[in-house]
Structure 1
Amino acid sequence: MHLFEELINWLQINRVTIVIVFHFSLSFITSLHVILYKENERTSLAWIGLVIFSPFVGSLFYWLFGINRIERTAQKKHPQIRKQKLRPDGKSVEFHEIPKNWHSAVISGYKIHPVNYVPNNKIEPLVNGDEAYPEMIRAVEDANTYVVLSSYIFDYDSLGIKFIKALSEAQLRGVVVKVLLDGVGIGNSWRKSHRALKKSGVKSARFLPTFSFTSFRFINLRNHRKILCVDGEVAFIGGMNVSKRNLVKRAKHPIDDVHFKVTGPVIDQISHVFKEDWFFATEELIEFPSYVANSKEHAPDHCVVSRVVQDGPDENHRKIRWVLISALGCAQKSVKIMTPYFVPDHTLLTCLHAAALRGVSIEIIVPEKSDFVVLNWVMEANYARIMEHGIKIYKNKRPFDHSKIAIIDEAWSFIGSTNWDARSLDLNFEINLECFDSELNENLTKFFHSKKQNATRVNMKDLENVPFYKKVRNNLVRLMSPYL
């Protein structure tokens, strides 16, 4: 008892010294981690400054939000041979009648992400949940062997309940069903959705749960992929979550979006990404049916050359960013980008400006009002910089447009879950399809122009008339854009 009292007295007398020593020790360890693992010099200096001058709080923020790489145990345990059939055989690059000026992009594409470009795919745009959800639910209802679903958001609302009903009925008739939901995106809906699925025998899992001793330090790294694969015969991919807000004709606060129905051999690449994510979350290996060509399918209707490009804060880090850089270098006539958040880093913006200087027409459509007001401010702060060299920006007047597409000339398009911001390009796990097809580009271009009809062009005069306090606010928040 006497020793305990002496210890308490010593702690009280030396409490200031103890706090200072602990702060500097923690700051030193955290700063050392920043120096060793952060690639961007300016970001590293910002973190070190925050760590030193915000005792304890700065270090806490870094360990929660500053770590943007994760070692996926799936890469150690998941047999690499499973990937081999998706990779080039190393003998020669296959160009599949892709235009000659894109051959350099194909070559670099293999080096960036060694996954095959495969022909004979059909990719059908589905505008808003009004078109996409009935197709998705119908595919689940027609399933015979296997259904896998991955989503960032899965609301337990009237639409979510319809999906749960279809998935549960599939499980009850003998179909194997797996549902993977992001630990943060699912939010409060997890308990209700998980309980309803479990009741019917559907196995569901969370990707990096929010409250977990093993994953809490990766709270900032989210699985943003949206995947639905059925029987190896049909898949759905894009930016659309499971939420009744995407039912634009009925929603009180609608969200516009576009999703894609996929048939063809590229389905094997999509399902493989789900298999890796499922193994990472559950350590369970699953065998999903491979795509088998249907003799009734006609080649002219299935002519898209496509492949999956996956990205994430793991061994696939920044692959989508590099693919975009490579594609922009091949642009000859036009670049059309539609994204809910357009906050490109310096390198991507330089590539866009370089294309504009070559005479390439570049048009970008963003929402007039984002669902995240702070990102509105960041984008407004960047408009003047982006619009240099003739780049055109249009603000869509719809309530909120979540669509994500990129179209270059008549040949190349990029569709999937990725936004043009730091969170998607550095922190999130994402999945996109890189596509070569003139007919798909024509359809996407029509979709782009339909959106542009409801948009207003940003001009320099309006930017000059922005009140001074807003300019200060916008540019101040812009400094934090890598962490938003």
Structure 2
Amino acid sequence: MEQYGNIWPHGLLVAAIVLLLQLVASAHILRHKDDVRAAVAWIGLVWLAPLFGLVFYLLFGINRIERQAKRARIRRGLPARKDLITDPDGPTLYDALPDAPNRWHAHGRLAGRVTGHALTLGNEISPLEGGRAAYDAMIDAIDNAEHTVALTTYIFQADQAGRRFIAALARAHERGVEVRVLVDAVGTLYGLRPVTNLLRRRGIPVATFNPARLSWRLAFFNLRTHRKLLIVDGIKGFAGGMNIRKHHLEDEDGGQRVRDTHFSLKGPIVSQMMEAFADDWAFSKKEELGGEKWLPTITITGTGPGIPARAVPDGPDEPRQRTAMIMESALASARQRVQVITPYFLPEPALVVALKQAALRGVEVDILVPAKNNLPFFMLTALSGARQLVEAGCRLFLSPPPFDHTKLMIVDDDWVFFGSSNWDARSLKLNFEFNVECYDRTFAAQMTDWVHGRYETALEMTRDDFRARPRLHRAMGRLLWLASPYL
């Protein structure tokens, strides 16, 4: 009894400390979480599994990366991002297309306020068929670089595709071009030989985004850069969804392993691309990239607005979910047709509602996803969530192999959205992504023609098809669907 008497005060003290920490964590959750579902989940975890919940929230529930990004911007002499709604200085859709429907002017105003970026005019944007054609164009641009090369990607493997880029970057570095390469920490794990080591041996400045270390960085290791950007001399850029790996090249029989679409960009939009890279580089290496060398003044050539476009960089360091808001606004602006192509389709409730509303208004909503996904069990989950969309009037198409990694959205042959974001919670909440929105009927028509054949060869999933699915698949899909916010 004497032993228990000695333990009792200590146990009471520990319980009191844990209770205090639970109260502090709960107050922090209520103050900082805007999503009621996330707040309820975190509070439940903190109170039902106190020790585990507190540690887990400390590591993964607090957005420290926002503070680090803010400090990086302040070091560069830039204003810290604030949760203020202001119109950016620069062109608007009225300057480019004054006769555009009012709904697009309203959408453009929202996009400018959400991103903080003005619309850029005089751009040239061309789609590149994923694989060898896109890689050849990118390597040719690196070989013709005169001043700077900035490359960031999620996956960069040292295989037959990656070695060509390593060689091109080394050639540029040897002739005096300033080269910077940023690769995601998780993306480097896809290859047996980390490409970062091979680049360092050639003297190329390279950084790993959010490396896993036993430090403060471990607290947001789950936050990844999923951006795929190449900027050459600050005037030519490439963006889209393509990683650098052999999967985008032909197989031994000359067939496609993966289908994808990347984009070549010229014009003022490239400056917005470079600004996004400079932010990430300053965060990772604390080196500032600025001045005419990295951000040259871009003069618009030719007449007319070119393709009016705006960069949409997004990430957990931003005060609001930019990409999701712009997608929802575009769906609300749709009047005739919406085409969505994505490899990973697990939209959050707000996007599901927006898709349903568009379909119920009479808009043709066509969603194209791969029939066979590269992630195990993903399609079981996706189909489980997509059934309600088909019942509301959306059309779901399953594209046959090869696996289609394209990320594209086209609305009314007026508006095109492309980049690195998937339609899932990871892309829209946790990843650092980069997308581009374009307002141009000619370009939209070109992209509609570009994807027409994919819809022609795809299989539409009807209501009867959903009902005919095996019960085991439906049951597994619903169980996995519960974890969809974390997939």
TM-score by length of 2: 0.89
Distance across 1 between alignment mates of 2:42 and 2:468: 34
After the TM superposition, which residues 379-394 of structure 1 pair with which residues of structure 2 at under 5 Å, given as runs? 379-394=382-397
Q: Deviations over 1:299-326 (max 9, x none)?
A: 47x8211110111111353011111122
In the other structure, the counterpart of 2:39 is 44
Which of the numbers 392, 403, 406 marks the counterpart of 2:406?
403
Q: Give the match's secondary structure for 1:56.
A: helix
Point out the more displaced range, 129-138 or 28-37.
28-37
Contact 1:130-1:249 at 8 Å conserved across structures: no
Contact 2:188-2:194 at 8 Å conserved across structures: no
Q: Does 1:78 align with 2:81?
A: no
Contact 2:91-2:119 at 8 Å conserved across structures: no
* Alpha-carbon offset, residue 27 of structure 1: 4.4
Contact 2:93-2:119 at 8 Å conserved across structures: no
Contact 2:90-2:118 at 8 Å conserved across structures: no
Contact 2:119-2:309 at 8 Å conserved across structures: yes
In the other structure, the counterpart of 1:240 is 242
Point out the more displaced range, 98-107 or 338-347.
98-107
Point out the more displaced range, 169-178 or 48-57.
48-57
In the other structure, the counterpart of 2:282 is 279
**Count of matched residue pairs:** 471
Structure 2 residue identity aligned to 1:194: T
Q: 1:34 to 1:483 in 2, by over 3 A?
A: farther
In the other structure, the counterpart of 1:364 is 367
Structure 2 residue identity aligned to 1:100: P
* Alpha-carbon offset, residue 32 of structure 1: 3.7
Structure 2 residue identity aligned to 1:70: E
Point out the more displaced range, 29-38 or 230-239.
29-38
Contact 1:51-1:57 at 8 Å conserved across structures: yes
Structure 2 residue identity aligned to 1:104: A
In the other structure, the counterpart of 1:89 is 89
In the other structure, the counterpart of 1:3 is none
Q: Give the match's secondary structure for 2:188.
A: coil
Q: Deviations over 1:116-173 (max 9, x none)?
A: 1112111111111221101001110111100000001111212111111110110010
Contact 1:267-1:291 at 8 Å conserved across structures: no
Q: 1:264 to 1:378 in 2, by over 3 A?
A: same
Distance across 1 between alignment mates of 2:297 and 2:214: 36
Q: Does 1:292 align with 2:287?
A: no
Q: Give the match's secondary structure for 1:261.
A: strand
Q: Does 1:443 align with 2:441?
A: no
Structure 1 residue identity aligned to 2:318: E
Point out the more displaced range, 95-104 or 26-35.
26-35
Q: Deviations over 1:345-399 (max 9, x none)?
A: 1111111222112211110001112222243222111122111331000011114
Q: 1:470 to 1:17 in 2, by over 3 A?
A: farther
Contact 1:398-1:454 at 8 Å conserved across structures: no
Q: Give the match's secondary structure for 1:70.
A: helix
After the TM superposition, which residues 67-466 of structure 1 pair with which residues of structure 2 at under 5 Å, given as runs? 67=62, 70-71=66-67, 72=69, 73-80=71-78, 88-89=88-89, 94-97=94-97, 99-101=100-102, 102-187=104-189, 189=191, 192-250=194-252, 254-287=257-290, 288-293=294-299, 298-299=302-303, 303-466=306-469
Contact 2:92-2:108 at 8 Å conserved across structures: no
Q: 1:342 to 1:144 in 2, by over 3 A?
A: same
Distance across 2 between alignment mates of 1:407 and 1:472: 33
Q: Give the match's secondary structure for 1:390.
A: coil
Structure 2 residue identity aligned to 1:44: A
Q: 1:93 to 1:438 in 2, by over 3 A?
A: closer
Distance across 2 between alignment mates of 1:261 and 1:37: 39
Distance across 2 between alignment mates of 1:235 and 1:57: 45
Point out the more displaced range, 18-27 or 197-206.
18-27
Q: 1:188 to 1:258 in 2, by over 3 A?
A: closer
Contact 1:95-1:103 at 8 Å conserved across structures: no
Structure 2, unmatched stretches of 5+, are 82-86
Identity, in percent, stands at 35
Distance across 2 between alignment mates of 1:253 and 1:16: 63
Distance across 2 between alignment mates of 1:156 and 1:91: 42
Q: Deviations over 1:174-220 (max 9, x none)?
A: 00000011111222649642222122221001111122402101011
Distance across 1 between alignment mates of 2:75 and 2:161: 37
Structure 2 residue identity aligned to 1:80: L
Distance across 1 between alignment mates of 2:402 and 2:13: 53
* Alpha-carbon offset, residue 18 of structure 1: 7.8
Contact 2:338-2:365 at 8 Å conserved across structures: yes
Q: Give the match's secondary structure for 1:373.
A: coil
Structure 1, unmatched stretches of 5+, are 1-5
RMSD: 2.8
TM-score by length of 1: 0.89
Structure 1 residue identity aligned to 2:76: H
* Alpha-carbon offset, residue 75 of structure 1: 3.0
* Alpha-carbon offset, residue 16 of structure 1: 7.4
Q: 1:274 to 1:260 in 2, by over 3 A?
A: same
Q: 1:400 to 1:59 in 2, by over 3 A?
A: farther
Distance across 1 between alignment mates of 2:322 and 2:241: 18
Point out the more displaced range, 364-373 or 60-69.
60-69
Structure 1 residue identity aligned to 2:417: F
Contact 2:413-2:448 at 8 Å conserved across structures: no
Structure 1 residue identity aligned to 2:89: D
Distance across 2 between alignment mates of 1:233 and 1:38: 39
Contact 1:95-1:106 at 8 Å conserved across structures: no
* Alpha-carbon offset, residue 53 of structure 1: 3.2
Distance across 2 between alignment mates of 1:430 and 1:114: 16
Q: Deviations over 1:37-73 (max 9, x none)?
A: 2222222222333333345344444344444563212
